[in-house]
Structure 1
Amino acid sequence: MSGTVRWGILATGGIAATFTQDLLGLPDAEVVAVASRTEASARAFAERFGIERAYGSWAELVADDDVDVVYVATPHSAHHEAAALALRAGKHVLCEKAFTLDAGQAGELVGLARERGLFLMEAMWTYLNPVVRRMTELVREGAIGEIRTVQADFGFAGDVGPEHRLRDPALGGGALLDLGVYPVSFAHLLLGEPDRVQADALLSPEGTDLNTGILLGWDSGATALLSCSIVGHHATAATVVGTKGRIDLPRDFFHPDHLLLHRAGSSDPAPEKIVTGPGPQGLSGMQYEAVEVMRALRAGETESPLVPLDGSLAVMRTLDAVRDRIGVRYPCDNRAGKGA
């Protein structure tokens, strides 16, 4: 694939709007179509962003011959259905996080993409953020020595009543898949899949997690202390502690604009502030995902080395393990042949 990459947007919520706005800022990307479950919603989205085609069904979008890659922006309870539909239609897919509801669903998507030779990537924009990429380089270079502890949290106190999707198990409700996926993915980025998982949570009457604490352990001796919440305002920050120093990512660690490097034994007590430079004016940071997808497609790659599918599967296994520990169950957990 060369030249302009043509995108189809599947769903019309807030995250779809943000991603589309970023796409429109890229000279080598074109948004050719959008789909929703209702034609009215698709048409309103198309008019807002100047998109030529608006479809009232997902099937029409994935059947469009002018669409090269589909961006799945539905709630995560529909990720499996939407992404599978696109893959079966021969489309490359960028799928929002959490990748799916469980590891079994994620494995089915990965198997389908690999069987058909199609590109598939979880839209974990944190992994592609320039500051986070610089952080991983510093860790590899030994700037803070061997990692001993990772801390990360993500939470807010919102108006989440019993009718809200975050309280509905059928919709994959709870803090874990909406917010906890970020701290868990951050720990995986640095340390890989954990050897041990512990967790505790405050559950809603409906059985979804409102406030969750997670302790991950590795045979190396490293640990990760993670938390997520929809009933408490968190700092939403992260720290990586090593034997020779530490790295702090301030508020909104999942898309930071700088990091602070503390080197043990330095004669200067002030940390080094590392900034990778401002992003393109008016873009949110989601454009980095699109850039990576288009780079991979032009290179003939079906997976991104920066957001590998095996890594997304490992994150889903950890999220499954956390849910098992805290007693959160989704309808998909009962299906035959469920993965683990």
Structure 2
Amino acid sequence: MSNLRVGIIGATGGIGKLRCQYFTESPASEIVAVCARTPEAVREIAEQYGARSYYIRWEDLVADPDVTAVSVASSNASHYAITRAALEAGKHVCVEYPLAQNVEQYDELFGIAEARQVILHDALTVRAEALHNALRNNFDRIGSPVWAHYRYYGGGTATWYIDPEPRGNPFIALHIHFIEQQIDFFGQPKWIEATQWETSAGGKRISGNVMMGFRDAVTGYMEFGMGFPANPSYQITYLGSDGFLEFNNRKLNLHTADGVEAIEIGENRALKLDTDNFVAQALSGEQPLSSPVVGRRAIELCLAATRSATENQRVEV
């Protein structure tokens, strides 16, 4: 069986570089082309990973006959157009989340993949991540769940978060990851409420808050802000009848009547596992780590949050 010949779009970004590494490490794939907007940077990454071709325009990589699979690691709003073109060209496609900006696009892309008999992989890696699994493995120890609180505030380094053009829908960009995590713990929500604040005064900043109501009066709350002049802060709390799990930037602790127990998170290999899974799907028909049903539902809920913030009211889901 011949190797999967991969072209990576967005190869010089943080995720793109990791995909370059993991596709290179896989014995069943090789990088034959890379694409990014900066000529010097994309040439360097091509040399580093032995890619035979490098491009400034993603259209040229998609048209490369030597490429049999495309990894899309560009900005959010570009995912749909690139993925559609690659599928139409008969390529297998791995797309960083979010795959699309609405469910109509999502369904269209999977329809094209089915018609072309190629793999479309929605790389929603949440359930494979080390922190999520550490929380999941200790979740029963806090008793009956009461609520969850996620909070992330970051500085201005990830500029695409605060620029509407590459970012796309703000709730999809900021909250799809957290929403999917809480669905895995609590099941499908009954309602959703959201607010959004964005400004360009004194530098671009954005903040979005989402609350979801689940069965048995369980509530999930998420705060996400980017562009603020401070060190990043990432906190998670799951409160239950018998205790709570608390993550604060790097450490995870379990608090119960017996005291405080440090929980080992372990190495996060989600993107590596996801890369290997995509290669196996394309070459041997392995099942995806994350079902398209999960990705589609996460987008639906992000759009419900958008509606809630726009209409300033709770939305039943």
Bin of the TM-score, shorter chain as denominator length:
0.7 to 0.9
Q: Supply the distance in 2 between the matched residues of 1:103 and 1:209 (Cα, whole angstroms).
A: 27
Letter in 1 for 2:213: G
1:8 and 2:1 are equivalent in the alignment: no
1:242 and 2:240 are equivalent in the alignment: yes
Greater strand share, structure number: 2
In the TM superposition, 1:1-340 aligns within 5 A as 4-15=3-14, 16-36=16-36, 42-139=42-139, 142-158=140-156, 165-173=160-168, 176-204=171-199, 210-232=206-228, 233=230, 235-251=233-249, 259-262=252-255, 264-265=256-257, 268-276=258-266, 278=267, 286-301=271-286, 304=288, 306-327=289-310
With over 3 angstroms needed to count, the CA separation of the structure-2 counterparts of 1:192 and 1:116, relative to structure 1, is farther
How far does the alpha carbon of each residue in 1:82-116 deviate from its partner, in whole angstroms, 9 at most, with x for none?
A: 11111122222211123222333223223323444
With over 3 angstroms needed to count, the CA separation of the structure-2 counterparts of 1:272 and 1:125, relative to structure 1, is same
Give the 3-state SS of the residue equivalent to 2:285 in structure 1.
coil
Conservation of the 8 A alpha-carbon contact between 2:148 and 2:221: yes
**How far did residue 298 of structure 1 move?**
4.5
Letter in 2 for 1:312: G
**How far did residue 9 of structure 1 move?**
0.3
Conservation of the 8 A alpha-carbon contact between 2:75 and 2:160: no
Letter in 2 for 1:155: Y
Letter in 2 for 1:296: Q
How far does the alpha carbon of each residue in 1:33-78 deviate from its partner, in whole angstroms, 9 at most, with x for none?
A: 1134687664343124321222344344334454342110111111
Letter in 2 for 1:230: M
Conservation of the 8 A alpha-carbon contact between 2:148 and 2:220: yes
Greater helix share, structure number: 2
Conservation of the 8 A alpha-carbon contact between 2:12 and 2:45: no
Letter in 2 for 1:100: A
For structure 1, the 5+ residue unaligned runs are: 253-257, 329-339
**How far did residue 309 of structure 1 move?**
0.9
- How many pairs are equivalent? 307
Q: Supply the distance in 2 between the matched residues of 1:131 and 1:203 (Cα, whole angstroms).
A: 29
Q: Supply the distance in 2 between the matched residues of 1:296 and 1:137 (Cα, whole angstroms).
A: 27
How far does the alpha carbon of each residue in 1:98-148 deviate from its partner, in whole angstroms, 9 at most, with x for none?
A: 322233322322332344443222223332224423533444xx3334433
Letter in 2 for 1:181: I
Q: Supply the distance in 2 between the matched residues of 1:129 and 1:165 (Cα, whole angstroms).
A: 23
Aligned to 1:332: none
**How far did residue 32 of structure 1 move?**
1.6
Conservation of the 8 A alpha-carbon contact between 1:165 and 1:173: no
Conservation of the 8 A alpha-carbon contact between 1:6 and 1:66: yes
Of 111-120 and 311-320, deviating more is 111-120
How far does the alpha carbon of each residue in 1:168-225 deviate from its partner, in whole angstroms, 9 at most, with x for none?
A: 444335753433333223222323442211011222269x971111111123422111
For structure 2, the 5+ residue unaligned runs are: 312-316
With over 3 angstroms needed to count, the CA separation of the structure-2 counterparts of 1:228 and 1:175, relative to structure 1, is farther
TM-score, structure 2 length as denominator? 0.81
Give the 3-state SS of the residue equivalent to 1:322 in structure 2.
helix
RMSD: 3.3
Conservation of the 8 A alpha-carbon contact between 1:210 and 1:231: yes
**How far did residue 312 of structure 1 move?**
0.8
TM-score, structure 1 length as denominator? 0.76
Q: Supply the distance in 1 between the matched residues of 2:116 and 2:240 (Cα, whole angstroms).
A: 42
**How far did residue 167 of structure 1 move?**
4.8
**How far did residue 272 of structure 1 move?**
4.5
Q: Supply the distance in 2 between the matched residues of 1:194 and 1:209 (Cα, whole angstroms).
A: 29
With over 3 angstroms needed to count, the CA separation of the structure-2 counterparts of 1:147 and 1:116, relative to structure 1, is farther
